[in-house]
């Protein structure tokens, strides 16, 4: 499992646009069986998780003490990610190059300034609103699929719009449960949606791209290394199913401690193979996992993690969240 290709294949394949989508692969019987099986497993997880105590892993409760500083930490994650991408002339993701885009240098410069803004931790609500404008621009420059693949980054920006850090106690903020639920909902849904889209755009609906990636990085084929015969297509389906499952579990929000620990194993193991590009590209995912783990370990906010909140003026105007 740690060697399944949960990395973004488009970041490590030359000319990923040369590989066209093939929905026929996703509609084949083996793929459909796995997709339906994952959906059923996610539904069972959601139902069973709703009956479990919160936090589900009490020994991790000390992590919940970090909850007031999660907005500040997420701002740093987002800032470092944007600044690093700007240095690489990339836009929202390492594979979205700005080198041949008209005005690309100006876009990269603005992206870098946003990154510095988030790192400072000051006035992050307007910074988040500006960052959200990057989404439609990404859709124009690279298409809606590329935007959805990077929507986890925009989810952090939306989180900071709802729940920015304060100017007190190094950014600590202790919002109401209603405000926390709304911010966490944006975070987990966007991160989960990004994984769901990637499961199809880089695996189930684009097997040629996945085959190219496996050819370039054969060490990811764990089954081949241990002598278990498994075809490339079967391996691609399995990797896509696991990525799809992780995405649905994040969207569910149930049992966040277990979900983050299990998902964190393959997402971190890829760093040994893919290095700096993987680290920079996955910084938003790491930030989301940290936030869900901490909030899920807090007795005060554990109930807010899986909640499906109602949009209200009170949640958006919470004084503790609006100090910045």
Query: To the nearest 5 percent, what fractions of the chain are helix, strand and coil?
Result: 70, 0, 25
93 sits in which H/E element = strand 93-97
Give the Cα separation of 64 and 70 in Å (integer): 10
> Tokens 């989810």 appear where?
155
pLDDT tens across 22-59, in order?
A: 888 889 999 999 999 999 999 999 999 989 999 999 99
Angle, vertex CA 156, rays to CA 164 and CA 305, nearest 5: 85
* DSSP-H helix ranges across 53-176: 70-87, 104-120, 124-132, 134-142, 144-149, 151-162
On whether the CB atoms of residues 79 and 116 are closer than 8 A, the answer is yes
Q: What is the DSSP letter of 122?
A: S
- What is the chain's mean pLDDT, rounded? 83
pLDDT tens across 163-188, in order?
A: 999 888 788 999 988 999 999 999 99
Instruction: Give 191-247 as a DSSP string.
Output: HHHHHHHHHIIIIIT-HHHHHHHHHH-GGG-HHHHTT----HHHHHHHHHHHHHHHH
pLDDT tens across 278-304, in order?
A: 677 678 888 899 999 999 999 999 999
Decide if pLDDT at 244 tops 80. Answer: yes
pLDDT tens across 102-146, in order?
A: 788 888 899 999 999 999 988 999 999 999 988 888 888 778 888
For the chain, what is the radius of gyration of the CA atoms? 19
Confidence class of residue 311 from pLDDT cuts 50, 70 and 90? low
Q: What is the DSSP letter of 6?
A: -
Tokens linked to 24: 């026929």
Give pLDDT, residue 5: 44
């Amino acid at each position: 499992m740690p060697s399944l290709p949960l990395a973004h294949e488009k970041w490590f394949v030359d000319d990923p646009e040369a590989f066209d989508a093939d929905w026929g692969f996703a509609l084949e019987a083996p793929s459909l069986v796995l997709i339906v099986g994952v959906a059923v497993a996610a539904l069972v997880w959601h139902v069973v998780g709703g009956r479990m105590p919160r936090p589900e892993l009490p020994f991790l409760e000390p992590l919940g003490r970090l909850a007031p500083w999660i907005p500040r930490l997420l701002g740093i994650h987002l800032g470092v990610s944007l600044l690093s991408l700007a240095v690489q002339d990339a836009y929202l993701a390492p594979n979205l190059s700005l080198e041949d885009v008209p005005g690309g240098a100006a876009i990269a410069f603005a992206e870098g300034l946003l990154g510095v803004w988030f790192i400072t931790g000051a006035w992050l609500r307007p910074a988040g609103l500006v960052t959200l404008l990057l989404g439609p621009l990404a859709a124009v420059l690279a298409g809606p699929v590329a935007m959805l693949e990077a929507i986890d980054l925009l989810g952090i920006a939306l989180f900071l719009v709802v729940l920015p850090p304060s100017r007190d106690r190094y950014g600590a903020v202790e919002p109401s449960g209603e405000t926390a639920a709304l911010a966490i909902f944006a975070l987990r849904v966007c991160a989960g949606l990004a994984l769901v889209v990637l499961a199809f755009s880089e695996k189930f609906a684009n097997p040629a791209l996945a085959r190219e990636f496996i050819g370039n990085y054969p060490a990811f084929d764990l089954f081949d290394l241990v002598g278990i015969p498994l075809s490339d297509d079967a391996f691609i389906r399995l990797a896509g199913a696991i990525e799809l499952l992780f995405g649905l579990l994040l969207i569910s929000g149930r049992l966040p401690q277990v979900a983050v620990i299990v998902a964190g194993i393959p997402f971190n193991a890829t760093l040994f193979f893919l290095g700096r590009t993987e680290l920079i590209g996955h910084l938003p995912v790491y930030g989301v996992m940290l936030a869900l783990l901490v909030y899920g370990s807090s007795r005060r906010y554990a109930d807010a993690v899986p909640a499906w909140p109602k949009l209200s003026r009170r949640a958006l105007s919470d004084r503790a969240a609006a100090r910045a």
